[in-house]
Amino acid sequence: MPVVECRNVWKIYEPKVPALRGINLKVDSGEFISIVGPSGCGKSTLLNLMGCLDVPTRGRVLIGGCDTRKLGDAELSRLRREKIGFVFQFFNLIPALTVLENVVLPTVFSGRKDPKKAKKLLEAVGLGSKLRRKPAELSGGERQRVAIARALVNDPEVVLADEPTGNLDSETGAAILDLLSSLNRETGVTLVLITHDPEVAKRAERIIYMKDGKIVREVRK
Amino acid sequence: MKEIARLAVYNLYHRKLRTFLTLTGVVIGVASIVGLIGAAEGINSVITGEIEKFQSNVIAVVPGEFKLQFSPLSQYEGMKAGKLSERDVEEISKIPGAETVMPSVSSRVRVEYGGETMILTVFAADPEKFREIDTIGVLEGRYFRSGREVLLGYSVAKELFEKEIGIRKKVRINGVEFRVVGVMNKAGGLFRAFDTMIYVPKSSAKKYLELSGITEIDVKVEEGYDPGAVASRIEEKLKELRKGEKDFTVISPDFSRSIANQILSAMQILLGGIAGISFLVGAIGISNMMFTSVLERTREIGIMKAVGATRRQIMAIFLIESGVIGFFGGILGVVFGYGIGEGFLALRQYFVEKSGVQTVVERPHVLISPELVVAALLFSFAVGILAGAIPARRAADLQPAEALRYE
Ligand SMILES: Nc1ncnc2c1ncn2[C@@H]1O[C@H](COP(=O)(O)OP(=O)(O)OP(=O)(O)O)[C@@H](O)[C@H]1O
Ligand SMILES: [Mg+2]
């Protein structure tokens, strides 16, 4: 069963901006997929729908075979919490909270606060010595590593990363990519990665090419 | 849930400036309402206390129909003499519960002492009855008995004349020499008028000062009788004697109190209005603060939803935040309100003293009842919660993707 499946998904923004036009996509467990395409082709929109951060105008998104159209707020929150981890281009950490608190946050919402796990993950991404810092006191690469640790803290089935290296210099970006792909290899977590960079895209097992809200080509290694 | 609450408190702590500003809005709103109402209550209790302190079982009958005026008990001067008669006294004496009935006559007279002359009010009554009815009491010397004896009000003896007047001294009243036999206690307060009067036997007033007639009848109510009921019996009787015409006024303790209450409630409505408006301003301030603070954090709400917060958890965070602000704002508001009320009363006192209008001398203090505290706390708590809930709900209802895009 695919981890995430899109069936004829459309997203039309008001007023009449068709960002996605009939997307069909299956993501299998443990896969590493990259999505590439020109700016404005609908990559972020697709990822948001896959992560239940938004709802499609038409079509369905299934998470673990479950139709998300039928779910209420509580169940959607639970999916986001338990099955999906997000990594954003602009990090999206909460500035008032420390590094450790940011990573603990998802476990707070799931009612099983787990600072030990958060600490272990932060150590794994090389931030064991900066637990008490605020996001503002970290470099871009460090912030993105915090975001990755946060995405992993509830043991998701899939990590959705929207240009995670877009705001980083190439060296730091490469390190973040290494981190993500090694996570995929070692823990088997499914990884969907949006990027502009063809070199980056090549690291994935499958590359999806998008244009004007449609998938135009798929390449499998 | 505990963690959610901690998150809320944490947010408050980490946005100190915003928290402080919002709190200030609540404090101002609550403080103004508590301060003004507390001040009004304070004035209320002073006046009621004054009225209750004296003569709670003495009824006064005066000629003329009484018109609502600010200080009912200092109106002796304006009353026309001659409308009350011996017949009235007799009839009142027959009413059950009327223990002592004392007709008296008062008038403006010239009082000379030590080369100074003052125009004062003399009050003339039967010595026995006066002693029975008087509630002020004698400070020095004794009550008057007969002949040319005079009892002085406190201010007359101690304050009005350049030289203090002691007992056994001689004063001239309308040119006739009287001997001072006593000085009254200080009545003060609403009854300050009594301190500037002098008291002589009724027979001497007639003989030496040519004062006759009756300008007031005081009735002491026997214990066990309701003064209010006796007062209305007197009123009925006098009306009957006058064939229904009412050219007199019966001043019972209830009557004085009801006049004071009318004045007080007018004042309270005014102050309540001011306080209500200031609270409205405060409430709008709170809502505005909460509104912008929640909007500012729309993106944060998006992040929390993206990592799995439910709508309810987000609402809880914001409700706890705004509730805490409302609650502590309420507490501080009550404390500051006390200060504002005291300040207001001090200012009022200053103007009263400057204008010399009023007869209340005891300085009122803010009175904050438990009901007022509870009401203020509930109100600010409710306003805080509501002001936070509306924008928080709006933000929590957004799709996370939209919230995350918010700049
Ligand atoms: N909230 C929105 N309202 C209206 N139009 C939107 C909204 N979000 C995206 N769009 C439009 O939908 C289209 C797809 O946007 P999307 O962000 O998915 O593109 P993208 O492929 O991620 O681009 P980029 O590579 O620049 O991030 C664009 O034309 C964009 O202008
Ligand atoms: Mg994008």
| pLDDT band of B378, cuts 50, 70, 90 | confident
| Backbone angles phi and psi of A157, in degrees to 5 | -85, -30
Contact B56, B253 (CB under 8 A): yes
* CA distance linking residue A47 with residue A89, whole number of Å: 12
Ligand 1 — pocket residues by CB below 6 A?
A 13, 17, 19, 39-45
Strand residue runs (E) in B135-247: 138-141, 149-152, 170-173, 176-184, 197-201, 216-221
d(CA B153, CA B135): 13
Starting from the CA of residue A88, give the closest ligand.
2
How confident is the model over B227-255, as a mean pLDDT? 85
Residues 79-118 of A with CB under 8 A from B: 80-82, 86, 88, 92-94, 96-97, 105-106, 108-110, 113
Residues linked to residue B103 through DSSP beta bridges, in sequence order: B217
Instruction: Enumerate the domain spans of chain B.
Output: 2-51+258-405, 84-246
* Domains detected in chain A: 4-220 (3.40.50.300)
Is the minimum CB–CB distance between B4 and chain A shorter than 8 Å?
yes
In B, which residues are within 8 Å of A81 by CB distance? Answer: 307-308
Percentage with pLDDT > 90 across chain A: 67
Helix (H, G, I), strand (E, B), or coil: what is residue B320?
helix
Cβ contacts of A17 within 8 Å, gap of 6 or more: none
Range with the lowest mean pLDDT among A160-164, A214-218, B146-150, B263-267? B263-267
Nearest to A50 by CA among A25, A16, A28, A73: A25
Joined together, the tokens standing for residue B177 give: 């020499």
What is the per-residue pLDDT across B129-146, written as a single tens digit (0 to 9) for each?
999 999 889 999 999 999
Q: Position B175: which residue type?
A: G
pLDDT at B66: 60
Local confidence band at B249 (pLDDT 50, 70, 90 cut-offs) = confident
Q: Does B14 touch chain A (CB under 8 A)?
A: yes
Q: Is B266 on the interface with A (CB under 8 A)?
A: no
Size of interface A-B (CB pairs under 8 A): 68
The partner residue sitting opposite A86, judged by closest CB among B3, B306, B311, is: B306
* CA distances (Å), origin B70, targets A51, B57, B263, B264: 76, 22, 8, 11
Cross-chain Cβ contact B307/A53 below 8 Å: no
Cis peptide before B391 (omega within 30 of 0): no
The pLDDT of residue A208: 94
ipTM above 0.90, yes or no: yes
> What pTM does this model have?
0.68
For B185-232, write each residue's pLDDT tens digit. 988 776 788 899 999 999 999 999 999 889 899 999 998 888 888 999
Q: Cβ–Cβ contacts within 10 Å for residue B216, how many?
A: 20
pLDDT in tens, B89-125: 999 999 999 999 999 999 999 999 999 999 999 999 9
Select the residue from A77, A114, A146 to test the B interface by mutation, using most B Cβ atoms within 10 A: A77
What is the number of H-type helices and E-type strands within chain B?
Answer: 12, 10
CA atoms within 13 Å, Cβ hemisphere of B196: 19
pLDDT of amino acid B51? 67
Q: In what order do the strands lie in the sheet with A190-194?
A: A84-87, A158-162, A190-194, A32-36, A206-211, A214-220
CB of B404 within 8 Å of any CB in chain A? yes
Which of A43, A50, A83, A94 should be substituted to probe chain B, the one whose Cβ sees the most B Cβ atoms within 10 Å? A94
Average pLDDT rounded to a whole number, residues B63-83: 53
Determine the distance in angstroms separating the CA of B328 from the nearest CA of chain A, rounded to an integer: 22
> Which pair of tokens denotes residue B354?
């400057």
- Top residue of B18, B307, B405 to mutate, by most chain A CBs within 10 Å, is B307
Q: Do B305 and A77 touch (CB under 8 A)?
A: yes
Pick the more confident residue, B140 or A170.
B140
